[in-house]
Amino acid sequence: MSSTTEQLAMKRAQNVRLMIFDVDGVLTDGGLRYGAGGEAIKTFHVLDGHGIKLLQQFNVKAAIITARESDIVKRRATDLGIDLLHQGVHDKRAAFEQLISALSLDPAQCGYMGDDVIDLPVMTRVGFCASVPNAHPEVKTRAHLLTHAKGGHGAAREVCDFILRAQGNYEAALARYLA
């Protein structure tokens, strides 16, 4: 990413008050594994979870909008203190509009991280959007920030750290660990 592109992304990330994440391909590697009983098994990265918790400590709400429905996603959201969970959503734009209306936020105050074309209706409306290197090409070209890590391998943490830096809170977020 060029320094100009990064500076523009930083400026956009300064305004984020709500960061919304897709699940498959963003918070997970996008692979679907099925257990013997037919249940979907997803793997989440602990770095991503801690990054989301850090964002929340600095007054950036976190939300999930995902097309699939899964008890494990509900469990992960609960573990992370995310109460803005929208599963089984095929019209992500409508879910986004409901969220910002309920929270009285402007789209410019929102961020979104997605990896496939189903995410574009939200990504093209928010003030800041991010994606992963293994995302669909149409998504990658529209992202303000493209992570180095792939989905499910710390990519969401990169985005959380980026927002914390943009808002001047990164050092404060680390301070308790360096004391």
Strand partners, 33: 41
For residue 169, the domain's CATH number is 3.40.50.1000
At 86, list the tokens: 């929208």
Tell me the β-bridge partners of 20.
Answer: 63, 112
Instruction: Answer yes or no: is 4 within a domain.
Output: no
Q: Rounded CA gap, 140 and 130, in Å? A: 8
Decide if 92 is inside a domain.
yes
Number of domains in the chain: 1
pLDDT at 2 over 80: no
The CA distances from residue 118 to 13, 73, 83, 99, 105, in Å, are: 22, 18, 22, 17, 22
Domain-located, residue 72: yes
Residue 8 lies in a domain: no
The answer to whether residue 7 scores a pLDDT higher than 90 is yes
- Domain-embedded: residue 162: yes
**35, part of any domain:** yes
Q: What is the pLDDT of residues 109-142, one digit of tens each?
A: 999 999 999 999 999 999 999 999 999 999 999 9
What type of residue sits at position 105? L
Full-model pTM: 0.95
Type of residue at 13: A
CB-count exposure of residue 158 (10 Å: 0-12, 13-18, 19+): buried
Range of the domain at 112: 15-178
**Residues 46-69: tens digit of each pLDDT:** 999 999 999 999 999 999 999 999
What's the confidence (pLDDT) of residue 1? 59
